[in-house]
Structure formats: C-alpha cells, structure tokens
C-alpha cells in the first residue's frame, strides 16, 4: 500500500468530508451554483499562489536532485498550468488576473495555505509533502470520480473544463509522480512512531480542504 493510501485509511472521516463534499457533488452533477464556483475559483487562484511558495520551500529543503526536480515540477504545474486554467475560467465573468489577485484572501484560504507553509517551515520535506498531498493527490482522485466515463463524455457539462483539467492525463501523471515521491520520502524519513503524527497532519489538511469547499457554498447562500 502506498503511503498516500495509508494516510487516507488512517483519516477516513476527514478524507470523506473533503472528496465527498457537497461542493464536489454539485460540480459532478452540474447543480453547483455559479456564485459558489466563482468564489471558489478566485480564492483557489490565491490559494495556488501560496502553494507555489510551498513548492519553492520544498526546493529549498531538498537534499537530493530528485527532490529538487519534484519541487520544480510541482511549481511548474501550478504556475504554468493551474493558474492559467483559473484565468481562463474567470474570463466568463470579465475578471482579469489583476482583478483576481486584488481579491482579499478568505479565512479558509489563509487557514490551509499557512498551515501547509508552517508544516514546511517547522518540519522536514516529508511533513511538507504530507500537508500538500490532500490538494495534489485529492484533486486527481476527485477528477477521476467526476469523469467516470472519460472527459469526452462531459460535453455540455457546466464544469467540464475544471473536471477535464484534473481528470486529464497530464494532471493524473503529475499526481502519480507526487505519490511515488511521497513514498520515496517516506522510505527515507518515516521513522518508528512517526506515522501517527503524519496521519494527524494529513487529517487536518483534509479537513481544511473541506472547509475551503464549504467557503464557496456559504457565499452562494448569502
């Protein structure tokens, strides 16, 4: 069993609260209010900026060339791909990158991103990647779940572009590489008695991801 699967098994309630959140189900069946998705996209753009910093921190903390390359790949996936997706989707509301970047960070955005950065600053590379895993690997799992018949079956779906990004081969490959790298870090850093600490960290990060989804729903209800 991969380290990622072990962490999920150790925090089942927290993981389900994230990957089976009402926001995710609403994206899947197309009933998610547009206002919720718009709020999420803007905040996720700001979220990803902080996650880019986390990957830069991972590069700084890297002790091997393989670790450094993994951090570079993670940073590139955010800066060169994911941020562009958000800009493209936000054009439907005539929001420019400057408009998005000027938006204030919601407390849910601050809570998770600073939690991850703190894990990276106070811990080692394994702590940081465990804190990142719900986002990096969770989005791949959610993408697969929302496109059970493949991306081509999503024609006409209101959230097709988002689902296609994370269900697509490119992002799935990013996630697979991240999972393998997590296993490698575990082999090097996971000493006796440490797993429970990491499982608690992973569970907290998963709950913060669920809170991030909830933020979008709460705004749509106002």
Q: Is 135 a catalytic residue?
A: yes
Options 82, 135, 141, 165, the catalytic residue? 135
Number of other residues whose CB lies within 10 A of the CB of residue 96: 11
Distances (CA, A) of 218 to 23, 29, 33, 112, 116: 10, 19, 11, 17, 23
Q: Is 90 a catalytic residue?
A: no
| Residue whose pair of structure tokens reads 């690997």 in the numeric block | 137
169 contacts: CB under 8 Å, gap ≥ 6: none
Number of residues that make up the chain: 222
191 contacts: CB under 8 Å, gap ≥ 6: none
Q: Are 185 and 126 in contact (CB under 8 A)?
A: yes
Query: What would the DSSP string read from start to end of 123-174?
Result: S-HHHHHHHHHHHHHHHHHHHHHH-TT-GGGGTT-TTHHHHHHHHSHHHHHH
The DSSP letter of residue 92 is G
Catalytic residue annotation: 135, 209
């Amino acid at each position: 069993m991969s380290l990622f699967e072990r962490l999920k098994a150790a925090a089942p309630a927290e993981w389900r609260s994230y990957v089976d959140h009402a926001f995710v189900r609403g994206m899947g069946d197309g009933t998610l209010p547009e206002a919720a998705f718009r709020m999420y996209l803007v905040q996720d753009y700001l979220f990803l900026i902080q996650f880019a910093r986390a990957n830069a921190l991972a590069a700084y903390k890297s002790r091997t060339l393989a670790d450094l390359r993994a951090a570079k790949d993670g940073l590139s996936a955010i800066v060169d791909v994911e941020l562009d997706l958000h800009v493209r989707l936000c054009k439907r509301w005539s929001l420019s990158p400057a408009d998005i970047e000027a938006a204030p960070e919601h407390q849910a955005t601050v809570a998770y991103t600073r939690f991850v950065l703190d894990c990276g600053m106070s811990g080692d590379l394994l702590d940081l990647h465990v804190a990142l895993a719900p986002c990096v690997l969770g989005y791949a799992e959610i993408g697969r779940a929302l496109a059970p018949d493949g991306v081509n079956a999503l024609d006409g779906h209101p959230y097709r572009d988002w689902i296609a990004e994370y269900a697509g081969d490119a992002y799935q490959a990013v996630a697979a590489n991240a999972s393998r790298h997590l296993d490698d870090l575990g082999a090097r850093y996971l000493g006796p008695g440490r797993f429970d600490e990491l499982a608690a960290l992973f569970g907290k990060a998963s709950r913060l991801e669920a809170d991030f989804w909830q933020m979008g729903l709460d705004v749509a209800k106002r």
